[in-house]
Amino acid sequence: MKNKILVLDDQNHIKPVIELLEILEYKVTHVYDIKSALEVYEDFDLIISDVNLRNNETGFDFYEIIKDKFSGKIFFHSGFDYHVKAKELGVPFYSKGTAHYETIVKEMLS
């Protein structure tokens, strides 16, 4: 079996990406909030996190909590431009409209 991927995104529009990754035989789990992500993140090789989440939470908040504990890789995605903030954190960022998830995931997990 291929790597395990956690998707932290509060919207269902990410479903086509999840389906694509499952076709590529990745084991994908989708959670909608930081609390749920914190319960399971340690079991994953890669985390794909939206930036803007519900309840004024952000993917950046999640990253700040796990950055010293998580041994896998993470990248952010959003429909808005957060390249500067992600760069400050040292984490890759991709715009949802232009992200080629298959390529990004393969590169990050190789």
Section 21-48 average pLDDT = 96
79-104 pLDDT, tens digit per residue, is 888 888 899 999 988 887 656 888 99
In Å, what is the CA distance from 98 to each residue of 19, 42, 74? 18, 28, 18
Distance CA 92, CA 75 (A): 5
**Residues sharing a CB contact under 8 Å with residue 62, sequence separation 6 or more, in sequence order:** 8, 34, 37, 38, 49, 53
Enter the tokens of residue 29: 């789990």
For residue 98, the model assigns a pLDDT of 58
How far, rounded to the nearest angstrom, does the alpha carbon of residue 88 sit from its chain's CA centroid?
17
44-59 pLDDT, tens digit per residue, is 999 999 999 998 999 9
Spell out the domains of the chain, with CATH numbers in brackets.
4-109 (3.40.50.2300)
User: ∠ CA(12), CA(16), CA(19), 5° rounding?
Assistant: 110
Distance CA 15, CA 39 (A): 21
